[in-house]
Chain A
Amino acid sequence: MSVVYLKTPFIEKQIRNLKLGDSLYISGTIFLMRDEAHERALKLFKEKIKLPFDIKNLAVFHCGPIVQKKNNNWKVLSAGPTTSMRMELFEDEMIKNYQIRVVIGKGGMGEKTINAMKKYGAVFASFTGGAGVLLPAKCIKKVKEVHWLDLGTPEAFWVFEVENFGPLTISIDAQGNSLYKKVNKEVDKGRVKAYKYLGINK
């Protein structure tokens, strides 16, 4: 397990070198998209319409931030990861179509995404869920752009400038390994223990 500092845009080889359990810090540009923005980005791709900001070789952060507009400038007050599994519906297509290299979120993702990460060279990097204050205070330098505010601030397409954004834990690597799958194996044993303790016979 090592500590890795990367600048955006990412190069596929750097991403393929990341290992499960590595701590990653990102400097440069990241963008925020959740359910609705993912859906819209894929729809625009199908229609061959360019996104308002080029997201190629960047990191997507699954987050709906709390923001405040003061003197025409956006300030980010609280921004932690949301449950990434909801984006399982879209993320494989996003990785394929837009060469997303790092997916930042919480709780892990499913087989579809894991396979796309393996095939196209991307990783899942988790941050502590609910820890909304740590990243804005230390690592988010400014809001570069925001688009699609018609979706509401939590679902809009935000672009942030970040410095040493992390520590993010590599929990799915580009070889198809998943920390969550490892935990699941332990949980299978844990279920047996809990059943036994509670007197459940199956």
Chain B
Amino acid sequence: MNIKKIIINNVVELLRQASCELPNDVVKALRDGLKNEKKGSIAEAQLAAIIDNFEQAEKFCLPMCQDTGIHIYYVEFGEDVNWLRGTELKKALCEASKKATIDVPMRPNAVNPFTNMNSNDNNGRNIPFINWEIVKGDKIKITAFPKGGGSENMSSLGMLKPGEGLIGVKKFVVDTVITAGGQPCPPIIIGIGIGGGADIALKLAKKQLQRTIGERHPEKVIANLEIELVKAINMIGIGPQGLGGITTCIDVFVEYAYRHPASLPVGISIQCWAGRHASAVFDSNGNVKFLRK
């Protein structure tokens, strides 16, 4: 049994799933959005096209959007894993990104910022980017999270004054969504990270984009903030593709870290409607469990 080969092949499958099959929770949210829009409106037509598109993508096994993202992974590495070195896993993930570029296929999206040369294999300095977390157990959970550029360009970081408080946070979120308008391909999913520091707030924000639509934060206060923000954002009227309508976002997820007394960082990460991600758990016997939503 070649564990590295098993990982490469199955991570290619994760990248294929992420690119071609929209998770069921996102599918449901978009279908619900369609029902809410006015009959005969541009918003309704835009959502209908989005739905037609992801249905065909899944049927013909094609990437639903031509932008198949920059390659990011989230790895939960069991502290008792003695069957694979972290450095070997890193190599396997880089290899999987290369293979998926040809096999899925995914668009080559790794460009040297100095020479503008495309590596053509979705590999390059610090790309794929791997987020590591040590967890209990002897298994490895891998999430493929190819992130699109249009929505990523609308990310925002606010280093608020602590005196601006929660109201300041809410205002920053609303203003960021309005500035983004139709550019991140709404209906969007919004990840918000509060506290920690500049990088921590943004990291927490982006991580939230993997949560299941409708899944509320375990702390009541945060859960209520999420619900409140969804309602407020869908009052704005940006609508699907920024052409007006009700469904600007399909969910808002908030996470926080304790803050420095002098800082109130707010990171906002935006996901386009193509909520691409797929996870699987690998064990020492080479078993792979896909965690389909």
Interface residues of A (CB under 8 A from B): 21, 36, 63-66, 68, 77-80, 82-83, 85, 106-108, 126, 128-134, 137, 151-155, 169, 171, 179-180, 182-184, 186-187, 189-191, 193-195, 197-200, 202
Complex Cα distance, B241 from A133, in Å, reads: 17
What 6 A-B pairs come out closest when comparing CB atoms? Answer: A152-B118, A190-B236, A131-B53, A190-B237, A129-B185, A128-B49
Given known contacts A133-B53, A134-B49, is B107 in contact with A197 (CB within 8 Å)?
A: no
* Choice from B53, B66, B244, B273 contacting A63 with Cβ under 8 Å: B66
Flag the segment in B7-15, B56-64, B75-83, B197-205 that touches A. B56-64
A interface footprint on B167-190 (CB within 8 Å = 1, 0 otherwise): 100110010001001110100000
- Chain B 111-123 per-residue mask, 1 if CB under 8 angstroms from chain A, else 0: 1000011101000
Number of interface residues of B (CB under 8 A): 56
Whether B65 sits at the interface, judged by CB under 8 Å, is yes
A190 to chain B, nearest CB (A): 4
- Known contacts A131-B50, A132-B63; A106 and B228 CB within 8 A of each other: no
Q: A63-B66, A85-B183 are in contact. Are A194 and B107 (CB under 8 A)?
A: no
Closest beta carbon of chain B to A141's beta carbon, Å: 17
Q: Which residues of B contact A132 (CB under 8 A)?
A: 53, 57, 62-67
Q: Contact check: which of A77, A169, A189, A194 meets B62 at CB < 8 Å?
A: A77
**Could you give 8 example pairs across A and B, Cβ below 8 Å?**
A107-B150, A126-B241, A133-B62, A133-B64, A195-B171, A195-B174, A198-B174, A202-B171
Asked whether A106 lies within 8 Å of B235 as measured between CB atoms, the reply is no
Q: Is the CB of A64 within 8 A of B273?
A: no
B235 and A107: CB pair below 8 A?
Answer: no
Q: How far is the CA of A178 from the CA of B62 in the complex (A)?
A: 33
Q: How far is the CB of B153 from chain A (nearest CB, A)?
A: 7
> Does A126 contact B243, Cβ atoms closer than 8 Å?
yes
Are the C-beta atoms of A79 and B181 separated by less than 8 Å? no
The secondary structure that dominates the A interface is mixed
- Contact A129:B53 (CB < 8 A) given known A106-B182, A151-B116, A190-B236: no
| CA–CA, A64 and B66, complex, Å | 7
Assess the A130–B273 pair: CB atoms within 8 A: yes
Give A171 to B244 CA distance when docked, in angstroms: 12
Residue of B nearest to A201 (CB): B167
Instruction: Report the Cα distance A5→B44, complex, angstroms.
Output: 23
Residue contact A83 to B150, C-beta cutoff 8 Å: yes
For window 135-173 of chain B, which residues contact chain A by CB distance below 8 Å?
148-150, 153, 167, 170-171
From B108, B153, B236, contact of A187 by CB (8 A)? B236
Complex interface: chain B residues within 8 A of A191 (CB): 174, 178, 236
Cα distance A30–B262 in the bound complex, in angstroms? 54
Nearest Cβ distance between residue B243 and chain A, in whole angstroms? 6
Choice from A130, A179, A200 contacting B64 with Cβ under 8 Å: A130
Q: Among the interface residues B53, B57, B239, B274, which one has the most CB atoms of the partner chain A within 10 A?
A: B53
**Besides A64-B66, A129-B182, A194-B174, 12 other A-B contacts (C-beta < 8 A):** A65-B66, A77-B105, A80-B66, A128-B53, A131-B64, A134-B53, A153-B120, A169-B42, A169-B243, A186-B244, A198-B167, A200-B167
Question: Is B232 an interface position by the 8 A CB rule?
Answer: yes
* Residues from chain B with Cβ under 8 Å of A179 in the complex: 42, 243
The answer to whether A128 touches B241 (Cβ under 8 A) is yes
Q: Which residues does chain B contribute within 8 Å of A78, judged by CB atoms?
A: 57, 62-66, 68, 107
